Amino acid sequence: MTRTNQARLILGSASPRRLDLLAQIGITPDQIRPADIDETPRRNEAARDYVCRMATEKAAAIAAAPDEIVLAADTVVTAGRRILGKPVDAAEARAFLTLLSGRRHRVMTAIVLRRQDREWSRLVETQVRLRPLSSVEIEEYLASGEWQGKAGGYAIQGRAGAFVNWISGSFSAVVGLPLAETATLLRAAQAIQPGKEE
């Protein structure tokens, strides 16, 4: 995909995974400006509402010039009505993995593009099932440190890929950025020229 000269793309995330995903579709942000916001869920806030609010607030928190487009995203894992964010420590990661072991859960990723006073957004929901995990497997995974900074305590693109025995939806959304939807929004915001591939 070829970016136009009309707009500079600002990635509102420090996630190396989102940077890598954009690179997969030939896009390199002009700058990275992570948003610093309070990510605490509100009382009784539904996961869908929470993840959309986070992406919107991240996009709004980033200062941008008129010729800049801000891309922000947020990903959450949900088990039933429970939101599983990034575990604060290994104990919480262990609890998350134990909860997800052998069951189906949902991963929601919201993306927001903001260009001046205009906004484009999408919510992508993917269902994932982990096979039953033994305590030894969980402890080995925790020892790898890969769980750190990952919603739900696992990274599907890493070692935890061996835990996933079924997925319905967008693999890239589970990693952190749904590529098909992101490309569509970037076209809508005129950040890339439609129909051009690198």
For the 8-188 domain, the top CATH level (class) is alpha beta
Give domain limits for the chain: 8-188
Neighbour count for residue 173 (Cβ, 10 Å): 26
Active-site residue (options: 36, 67, 74, 117): 74
* pLDDT tens across the length of the chain (198 residues): 554 456 899 999 999 999 999 999 999 999 999 999 998 999 999 999 999 999 999 999 999 999 999 999 999 999 998 999 899 999 999 999 999 999 999 999 999 999 988 999 999 999 999 999 999 999 999 999 999 999 999 999 999 999 999 999 999 999 999 999 999 999 988 755 444 443
Say which residues have a Cβ less than 8 Å from residue 105's Cβ, sequence separation at least 6.
77, 78, 79, 84, 127, 128, 129, 130, 152
pTM for this model (two decimals):
0.89
49 among known catalytic residues:
no
